[in-house]
Amino acid sequence: MVEDRRLAVLRAIVEDYVATEEPVGSKALVERHSLGVSPATVRNDMAALEDEGFIHQPHTSAGRVPTDKGYRLFVDRLTGVKPMSAAERRAITTLLDGAVDLDDVVRRSVRLLSQLTRQVAIVQYPTLSRSTVRHVELVSLTPTRVMVILILSTGRVEQRLVDLGAEIADEQLADLRTRVNQAAAGERIADATVALGRLPDEVVPETAVITREVVTALAEAMSDHRNDARVAVGGAANLARFGDNFDTAVRPLLEALEEHVVLLKLLGEATSGDAVTVRIGHEGPYSELSSTSVVATGYGPADQAFATLGVVGPTRMDYPGSMAAVRAVARYVSRILDEGHQ
C-alpha cells in the first residue's frame, strides 16, 4: 500500500517535472494530483523517495526532481506502452505512405519521429549484412548489355549495368535469370555470394563468360556496405528547449550528432518485435552523455530487426510518449518493408 502510494507520488513528480521544467514541491503535487492523502503524507513520501535516491533537491528550494534511478523505476513500472492518438496515427500514415524508396522512408521516419516526440530522432539505414536476397531481375537493354537489378529484403534496390562481351539470346537470358534466382533468392548476402560464385562452373562453356560477368556485378552490389554505418538524424533544433541543461546535456549531444559511429552505439543493438529499449543517463555507453536518455527499438520485415531507430535527448523527457512514438513508427516502417514497397 505504502509502496503503491509512493510510486504514485514519484509518477506525479516525473510528469510535473517533464511538463513544467521546474522542481516539484509537495504543495503543487497535492493541488495538481488526486493522491487521496494529506500534504503531510506527501511530504513524508517525498522524504522517503529522496532517502532511497529516487528524487533529489537540486538547490535549497522546496522542489524535488527525479534522479536517473527515479526515471528508471517510473519507466519499469509503466503498465505498457500507451497507444498513439488517432491524430498521431494519421500523421504516421500520411507521411510514410508517400515514401518512394528506402532512403525516402528513412528520411521521412526521422522527420516524423522528431515531430512526434520533440526530441532528436535517429534512424539507422538497414544493413546489407543482415538482409536476404528477395529477387534478382535481368533486363536486356541490347543484345550485349544487361541491367542487373538486385532487390533485398530490406527494400533496398541495387542496379548494375553489365557489358557481357558477347550476345545473349532471350532464352539464354531467361535461363540465366532462373539459375541466379535459384542460387540467391531467400539466401543471406554471404551465402548468396558463395552460391552465385559457383554458377559459371555449372553452365555450358559458351555461356560461362556471360554468367561470370553477371555474377561479378551481383557480388559487387552485395558487397556494397555504404549504408552499414549510416544514420539519418533529425530534430536537433528541439534541443533548444533544454537551454537550462546546455553544458551537461545539450552540448555533448550536439557534438555526438557529428559522429555516426557514436550514434549507432547510443542506439544499441536492434531488438526485434515490440521490445522498446530505454537507457537513462548513466546507463548509456558514454560517460559524457550521462545527462542523456535514449529510447530505441529495431525495425525490419517479418520480425527481423535489420536496423534500429529511436530518439535521444536530456533525461527530462516524456518517456511514455517517446516509447509510443518509437514503437509506432518502427511498426509502420517494418510493415512498409514487409510489403516490399520500393
| Tens-place pLDDT, residues 297-315 | 998 876 677 789 999 999 9
The pLDDT of residue 341 is above 50: no
Of 107 and 128, the structure prediction assigns the larger pLDDT to: 107
Flag whether pLDDT at 340 surpasses 80: no
Q: How far apart are CA 49 and CA 71, in angstroms?
A: 12
- Considering 226-240, 301-315, 322-336, the range whose residues carry the highest mean pLDDT is 322-336
Share of the chain above pLDDT 90, in %: 47
pLDDT band at 272 (very low <50, low <70, confident <90, very high): low
Residue pLDDT, tens place only, 113-122: 999 999 999 9
List, in order of start, the domains of the chain with CATH numbers. 2-76 (1.10.10.10), 86-127+227-338 (3.30.450.40), 131-224 (3.30.390.10)
Which amino acid, 307? A
* 54-101 per-position pLDDT tens digit: 999 988 766 899 999 999 999 999 877 778 888 888 989 998 888 877
Which residues does 85 contact at the CB level (< 8 Å), separation at least 6?
none
Inform me whether the pLDDT recorded for 128 exceeds 70.
no
pLDDT value of position 342 = 40
- Comparing CA positions, the residue from 216, 226, 220 lying closest to residue 127 is 226
User: Do 90 and 202 contact (CB within 8 A), yes or no?
Assistant: no
For range 334-342, the mean pLDDT: 69
Residues in the chain: 342
For all residues of the chain together, what is the average pLDDT?
87
pLDDT in tens, 33-43: 888 888 899 99
More confident residue, 52 or 152: 52
User: pLDDT-based confidence at 229, cuts 50/70/90?
Assistant: low
Instruction: Look at residue 286 and tell me whether its pLDDT is greater than 70.
Output: yes
Q: Which residues contact 152 (CB under 8 A, 6 or more apart)?
A: 128, 131, 132, 133, 134, 158, 189
Percent of the chain predicted with pLDDT > 70: 93
